[in-house]
Homo-oligomer: A and B are copies of this chain.
């Protein structure tokens, strides 16, 4: 284990009807004038938005609204949100939705107290301050409800970039598993995939002696392997959704990723796919991850064999550990297919002729340095090969 710091001061209210206390939590963390930030129709149709407004009115909080966040949230709406915050003297941002609404809210929160262009933060500038944020989570996936991270798609070129900063960590997050019950099976499966990706990206480390975080990651993975198919079979299964919801937060608040190098190759390679084709991030990851794993497997066969045995129930082949490693990747891929995820470029809606461009943007786009990967360092040629494995 390497030295690290860890600080995760988000207040979680978990369970049925917890969204009715939203106003109370906003007051607890000092908000008086709120921007409610959300996506499309589902939070309106389900009545959640009205319910939230009522909870704010109950506590005498005033608010303005900005809906319209799309999956793979975009810079344009962020600028709009920042303008509203400055004009209306908003002092608290409430995101209602999934990772997209939350990530967009984080970008607005940082931009609202910054004189420059908020995109600076997505090009390497450190986020030092931001308006306080609260969230009401409606999709278990991104882990943004408990993380300091945000990913935004720049509409000027359609590429995704991430930022991170303690000021972006939500003050509170309301996690009611029942609110995820309206999701389609496909959206639910995308979330499951994203959560597993957050675990795998931490699992692929070059740091030795990381038993505690390995075991925590494996435990969270096994939770997803157990609960994922249950919730796909029965979308109304509150308990399965509850287990997934807490696992999704724990997968990304980094308590299981401390003191070890991490990877994020699959996220970097996937981001180009969802930015260009506007596919769901989870669906993109389902296609990307097995390809990255196959490509990187030889770097540390025993690590792949370990997850194969501990999580996927493979038997260790002591004479041919690479066979065990492969069996684990195969089991993971089959799992993704079984919950309804796409398995190749075609099913994702991606095009072979874009591969060179995708690889170039992944490695050189915007402020990138020409390589990516925290487990294996990959150059543009490697990334082309990985995209080809997805065909």
Interface-facing stretch out of A92-100, A156-164, A220-228: A220-228
Q: What is the CB-to-nearest-CB distance from A71 to chain B, in angstroms, rounded to a whole number?
A: 25
What residues on B are CB-neighbors of A41 within 8 Å? Answer: none
CB within 8 Å of B: which A1-26 residues: 1-16, 18
Number of copies: 2
- The number of chain A residues touching the other chain, given as a range, is 35 or more
- Establish whether residues B227 and A220, one from each chain, have CB atoms under 8 Å apart when the complex forms: no
- Establish whether residues A212 and B216, one from each chain, have CB atoms under 8 Å apart when the complex forms: no
A215 interface residue (CB < 8 Å to B): yes
Q: What is the CB-to-nearest-CB distance from A137 to chain B, in angstroms, rounded to a whole number?
A: 14
Q: What is the CB-to-nearest-CB distance from A175 to chain B, in angstroms, rounded to a whole number?
A: 9
Given contacts A6-B11, A211-B243, A219-B219, 10 further A-B contacts (CB under 8 A): A1-B177, A3-B18, A5-B11, A6-B12, A7-B10, A8-B9, A15-B259, A212-B220, A212-B223, A246-B258
List 29 A-B pairs, Cβ < 8 Å: A1-B14, A1-B15, A1-B239, A2-B15, A3-B14, A3-B15, A4-B12, A5-B12, A6-B14, A7-B11, A8-B9, A9-B9, A14-B259, A209-B239, A209-B242, A209-B243, A211-B223, A211-B227, A211-B243, A212-B227, A212-B243, A212-B244, A212-B246, A213-B246, A215-B222, A216-B216, A216-B250, A242-B259, A246-B258
